[in-house]
Structure 1
Amino acid sequence: MGNTSLRTIAADTRALGLSAPLRAAYEMSKRGGFHAVLFRGGAHWRHPATPVPLTNTLPTGDEVGQRCLDDARRVLRQGLRVFGRRVATGVSEPWCTDPLTERPWPAREPWWRIDIRSEARLSDVKHVWEAARHRDLVVLARAARLDPAGPWLDRLACLLRSWCEQSPPEQGVNWYSSLELALRAIAWNQILVLAGERLPRDVVTAMERLLLASARHLMVELPYTLSSMRNNHLLGDALGLIVLSRMFPTERRATWWARTGEKMFAAQQRRHFAPDGRMIEDSLSYHRFVLEMLIVRVMLGGAPADVQRDLHAASLHLARLGVFDGDVPQYGDWDEGRVLASSGDPLDVAGSVALGLMLCGERVPPRWYADFDELAWYAPVPPEETAPGAAAPITYTRPEATTSGGIARVERGPWRVWFKVDSGPSHGHADLTSVWIKHGGTWLIADPGTGAYNGPLEIRNGLRTSAAHPVRRPDGRDQLVPHRAFRWLNTGRGYLGPPLVLPDRTIVFGWHDAYARGQRPVRVGRAVVVATDYVAIVEFADPPGTAKCWSLTIPLHPDVTVENNTLIAGESTLELFGLDGHTAVRGRKTPFAGWHSRTYGHWEPATWITAESRADTAVWGLGTVPGSLTEPTALDGLRFEVNWDSAGACLVVTHIASGEVHHVRAPQ
């Protein structure tokens, strides 16, 4: 065994921590043939299902119904929706067909013998799994309910029958992931609620058999889930067991499934959520994904009070970030992951947030029921606005500056700015103290997105490491250091102070400890100043002189270009200041840089500005700053300094003319 293999094993063990022995035993079971023993038998279990009413049988509002029928037509004519495009998988090609290569994954091979990870794999398995989550089949079931005389029911029955014939228990790539089975069970439950009484009996019986096999799979695969998937996967697997126990209440194993699922869900929930609404999922996409898991758990009934508490906090967190005002930064991993079915924009997270708020007792604006499928199909009918004693719908007007879950959001004049200071252990990127900026509703500095998990590592790491984000790097170091496709070798925490709102400016300050390790530890701080005419970033380091050189990347939105020191976005231009000698890269393949990913599996050229500096303290930004930038600690009549100590950091802002002093404390 070579040194490289030993280093890889050591890194894997370090990343897995105490769960490494259990994961090692699991991998030996797969390779040694014991999985064949574990999954032997049980493929022909029979028991009638009792679908749980998780969905409305008809939506609230004609507009939503028409949107569903239009979507159903696209499903039949163009294929299933997978990451922004329509694919033939399942509709005109077998369910094992990879949408990217149009070649089949092994159809009759036990799933544990199929290679989905090595360089020799067929393709990125996320694409075939996305089609197999069957949310589009829920759309067809809805269409069959809306239009009983239409073609929807017959085509739905054909798709379900072909799935059951082509995907016997534990055979093929679509049985590989427990989470996929759990999500499909939730989708099938909705299909049975909407159309089960009209589907052919042989189709329903086949579905019931595979649902029972899914429950068995979830139980047998618990060692892997518990050792390696203590994140959204564990919640999703637990939710799948709870749903299946409700669907088969008289099955003799149902009590065991329910008890196991509830215990797993509660244990992971305690680890997963913080009181301020953030999660260990350091990702906008996965925040929505887990939010929808909480929604399903509440709709099932009998949820502990803390489930609704965490649902409310997690929903308010995204509301504070501005999801009802338009798109927000797509931080962390993005893959359009959903538990609920919608015919709306898959990039929009607001509908899930609206449903979460409504289920927690908030009265939302009636118009939202037409705007968001999530409300129209899953929420109770809204009360009449004129009903006696009816509360006024909640409004989400935010203050000029707000903080939530380690992220600050500032609006002033034409600017909308997000400042992400903290990180989380799951699905996050190396982006502590990232600054994302909109001007007049147009993105200027944007999160670069995700690309793909299972493609070449140079693309995966090219979009998730610090070099792709608007953060400072001492001597080119990465904040977290990537390991394989999902893990990191290091951790970092960020600390955000309260916003300082002055009559003519708003200032937010934070710092992180991601580089406080190794032979040259350094803490990195950043103040963001938002005025009507400019946004400025003031950089700090403690102790000074630790780094020989500081590197900075500024990823621009694909629609923005740069000429000398001018950013051009459509008809608008803005000056870039404080980055003398900067360079730009756009669409470079080797090394991978200058790209932007709007959704999973897609990336397009975008301009990344890069700059180098030897100064520990520096000022840069966009717009027009009055006066000159002759001092690294002075800007527009204010002086900035940071007092560091073992308990955190404090930004000191001094008005030069008057001597007035403000303090922004960011404790550890």
Structure 2
Amino acid sequence: MHADGKQSRLIWYANRLRSMSAGEITHRFTELAKKRQARGWEAGWAAFEMPEGPLPALPGRVDLHHADDNLLAGWRKLAASARFRRFSFLGQDWPDADNASLWHFDPVTGREWPKERYCFDIDYRHNEDYGDVKYVWEVNRLQYLQPLAALAAKGCNGGLKEFIAAEIESWIDENPPYLGVNWPSGIELSLRAITVLVVVRLIGGAAFEKKLLGKIRAFFSATATWLDRYPSEFSSANNHLIAEAAGLYLIGATLTDHPESACWAKKGRAILEREVEKQILADGIGAEQSPTYTAFTLEFYLLAMRAGEALGAPFSAAVYERVAHAGETLSWFLDENGHCLRIGDDDEGRVLFDDPARDVRYVASVLSCLAAVCNRPDIAPAAAPVHFRNLVLGGPLLAKEKLRGVKSFVDGGYTILRDEIAGKPALFAMDHGPLGYLSIAAHGHADALSLWLTCDGVPLLADAGTYLYHSGGAWRDAFRGTALHNTLTIGGEDQSRIAGAFNWSAKARSKRLEIAEVADNFFIAASHDGYRKSFGVEHIRKVRRTGEATFEIIDRLIGDGDEALDVQLGFLAGEGVEIVQTNGFFAFISQGAPRMCLEPPEGSEPRLVNGAEDEKLGFISQRFGERQPAWQLVLKTRAGPGRRLVTRLRLL
């Protein structure tokens, strides 16, 4: 490891320790002792071999009758690519691995991660030698096999079953427990196990030779043993814990002749039951402050819930009610075309896989399944393409009525206006909630009091997105930071202080102050204290609807002093939107037509930015691993407590 990698590792540990309670520190030392003890276990599959028995499969049925020609065409395309190992994930195309193992190959560096090293001895967070571990993990989820198995089950075999069996056997042979980079992360173990359960359900045990049947049973045994041994707890108990619990429950419920199976199923189910009211807040907002991570968490729940139904042991009414409530809330964040507001992190994590082009509207797709599982057609999205997950979970159900009005979420901290404005459907949102979930708020962004605005599906005011995680470095910080969000920045500093790719050393606290929940007279006021320590002020933002198509945004600082501070307001346009200055106003243009006019605060110095690499302004990331220049209006001025910065918007 390079010196820089060692230093970043030490900094990471220091920042994580600051975020831990005394109880978590004790837990981490206990966990470390267990990891060291397991290093002495004999490597390989022998310890997990089982007598002959049934091959575990996902409980329930997959309704392939709803697989239309478009879906089948996408699956054929995926099959053709997979057979030649032509993968494209997370904005990266996989080159030919030559003689390297696919399961350990990094497509960016062209190097192999260590294959014979104990998994917890591999520093996958801060190792520049091998690349960003997310890439190798993505392929190792084996999720590309799901639609291939569905295609084979539809009778379009052509050697597909043999190919799928060979891929699974190759993975097992090249990844003995617990060696290599594919064993330290519980969420990866769970997603991989779910894939194999889905595949077996689709093509049946007869597709596998007798020797491979035993290997797969050992694979499930080793996976569940590790999931049971190292659950994500305390500050890590977010979507990772839900993934691990779902995997443990599903393996325990299907590998029924294993002596620990009942304990695994009971433990996984108990975690899912316990956590639903923590992961989903009382108002239905996902605790991680990211609609896509909420959908990801819900997808695990929906799969487990369908399995429980198929096994004759459905989950409690409380789980169905909280999951449905999350669906109700998510529906407010989707526009008329089924596109969801980008908020917080999105790394394109999926449980059930299909052609990535069908997951552009991922949240809507999950919501369409949720409406079916919870028997709530009233909360279905307005639009969602048929997806493989619909064949497993149900749907797609689509909304018959349009959401209109004002909805404010006190716990999660968002207020949303949906209305017909200038004859077009509009969605306006403001953030006044917590930074994220638990002590590290891993997937939140420093976007307090930020705004989003879509009109007729056009993202006039948009979130920058995610771009990258560990390998992003300064770019990771920029996409999480305040300046790339539609809010106010003081002195070039973020509202919340970044302390690593998934951590913060200080968090802004937001609160809603006033609200008028009437569409015609919409008004929202909120504040945050993120700049109190550094600059002695708090930021208050008020948004008022002043006419049928006009809004007024008033930003103000409050504090004890009277010093004027360097202030910057940012307005970032989404994909396909250009910002043009004309006569002191700024037109937001889509497809050659003006869609919104912005009048900046009096006395501010406007600047239009598009792809400023040095400043890291004027960018959006529509997909993980990709970033594109975008138009951003930056308004600079000096303001002290008491000065009102008034920005006016008119939708056209």
- Identify the TM-score tier after normalising by the shorter chain: 0.7 to 0.9
TM-superposed CA distance for 1:101, in Å, is 2.7
SS of residue paired to 2:137: helix
| Residue 583 (str. 1) matches residue 607 (str. 2) | yes
Q: Equivalent of 1:116, from 120, 124, 143? A: 124
| Residue 416 (str. 1) matches residue 427 (str. 2) | yes
| Residue 316 (str. 1) matches residue 328 (str. 2) | yes
CA contact (8 A) 1:60 1:369 kept: no
Does the C-alpha gap of structure 1 residues 275 and 246 become closer, same or farther in structure 2, counting only changes over 3 Å? same
SS of residue paired to 2:214: helix
| Residue 347 (str. 1) matches residue 347 (str. 2) | no
| Residue 559 (str. 1) matches residue 576 (str. 2) | yes
Between 6-15 and 603-612, the greater mean CA deviation after superposition = 6-15
Partners of 1:621 and 1:428 in 2: how far apart? 28
SS of residue paired to 1:135: coil
Code of the residue aligned with 1:318 in structure 2: it is L
Matches within 5 A, 1:415-564: 415-423=426-434, 424-425=436-437, 426=441, 427-496=443-512, 497-501=514-518, 503=520, 506-517=522-533, 520-529=536-545, 531-543=547-559, 545=561, 548-549=564-565, 550-564=567-581
**Partner of residue 253, structure 1:** 260
Partners of 1:58 and 1:3 in 2: how far apart? 52
**Partner of residue 571, structure 1:** 592
CA contact (8 A) 2:153 2:203 kept: yes
Partners of 1:362 and 1:28 in 2: how far apart? 47
**Partner of residue 388, structure 1:** none
TM-superposed CA distance for 1:449, in Å, is 0.6
CA contact (8 A) 1:558 1:605 kept: no
TM-superposed CA distance for 1:118, in Å, is 1.6
Partners of 2:118 and 2:238 in 1: how far apart? 26
**Partner of residue 46, structure 1:** 49
**Partner of residue 56, structure 1:** 62
SS of residue paired to 2:207: coil
Map Cα deviations across residues 524-544 of structure 1 (whole Å, 9 max, x no partner).
233243744434312233347
TM-score by length of 1: 0.83
Map Cα deviations across residues 242-270 of structure 1 (whole Å, 9 max, x no partner).
11101211210112212332333333333
**Partner of residue 22, structure 1:** 27
CA contact (8 A) 2:537 2:557 kept: no
Partners of 2:83 and 2:324 in 1: how far apart? 37
- Number of matched residues? 611
CA contact (8 A) 2:368 2:384 kept: no
Partners of 1:342 and 1:546 in 2: how far apart? 57
Map Cα deviations across residues 186-245 of structure 1 (whole Å, 9 max, x no partner).
1111111111333222333222211111111112223xx224411111111111111110
**Partner of residue 349, structure 2:** 337
Partners of 2:9 and 2:142 in 1: how far apart? 39
**Partner of residue 650, structure 2:** 623
TM-score by length of 2: 0.85
SS of residue paired to 1:522: strand
Partners of 2:469 and 2:10 in 1: how far apart? 24
Between 37-46 and 248-257, the greater mean CA deviation after superposition = 37-46
CA contact (8 A) 2:451 2:461 kept: yes
Map Cα deviations across residues 264-288 of structure 1 (whole Å, 9 max, x no partner).
3333333222122112111122111
Between 268-277 and 426-435, the greater mean CA deviation after superposition = 268-277
CA contact (8 A) 2:151 2:157 kept: no
TM-superposed CA distance for 1:494, in Å, is 3.1
Matches within 5 A, 1:90-489: 94-201=102-209, 202-222=211-231, 225-301=232-308, 302-322=314-334, 325-343=337-355, 345-348=358-361, 349-363=363-377, 371-373=385-387, 376-379=390-393, 395-404=400-409, 405-410=412-417, 411=419, 412-413=421-422, 414=424, 415-423=426-434, 424-425=436-437, 426=441, 427-489=443-505
SS of residue paired to 2:102: coil
TM-superposed CA distance for 1:111, in Å, is 1.6
SS of residue paired to 2:144: helix
SS of residue paired to 1:310: helix
SS of residue paired to 1:79: coil
CA contact (8 A) 1:80 1:136 kept: no
SS of residue paired to 1:198: helix
Unpaired stretches in structure 1, ≥5 consecutive residues: 383-391, 626-668
Partners of 1:605 and 1:161 in 2: how far apart? 43
CA contact (8 A) 2:335 2:457 kept: no
Partners of 2:259 and 2:60 in 1: how far apart? 23
CA contact (8 A) 1:475 1:548 kept: no
CA contact (8 A) 1:236 1:293 kept: yes
CA contact (8 A) 1:141 1:153 kept: yes
Does the C-alpha gap of structure 1 residues 532 and 428 become closer, same or farther in structure 2, counting only changes over 3 Å? same
Does the C-alpha gap of structure 1 residues 367 and 601 become closer, same or farther in structure 2, counting only changes over 3 Å? closer
CA contact (8 A) 1:474 1:547 kept: no
Code of the residue aligned with 2:606 in structure 1: it is H
Does the C-alpha gap of structure 1 residues 249 and 537 become closer, same or farther in structure 2, counting only changes over 3 Å? same
Between 351-360 and 322-331, the greater mean CA deviation after superposition = 322-331
Partners of 2:393 and 2:44 in 1: how far apart? 40
Percent identity over paired residues: 23
Between 78-87 and 595-604, the greater mean CA deviation after superposition = 78-87
Partners of 2:393 and 2:398 in 1: how far apart? 15
Partners of 1:318 and 1:511 in 2: how far apart? 24
Between 118-127 and 321-330, the greater mean CA deviation after superposition = 321-330
Code of the residue aligned with 2:502 in structure 1: it is F
Aligned CA RMSD, in angstroms, stands at 3.3
Partners of 1:296 and 1:379 in 2: how far apart? 7
TM-superposed CA distance for 1:562, in Å, is 3.3
CA contact (8 A) 1:80 1:91 kept: no
TM-superposed CA distance for 1:465, in Å, is 1.2
Partners of 1:35 and 1:285 in 2: how far apart? 35
Partners of 1:418 and 1:185 in 2: how far apart? 38
SS of residue paired to 1:95: helix
Between 399-408 and 89-98, the greater mean CA deviation after superposition = 89-98
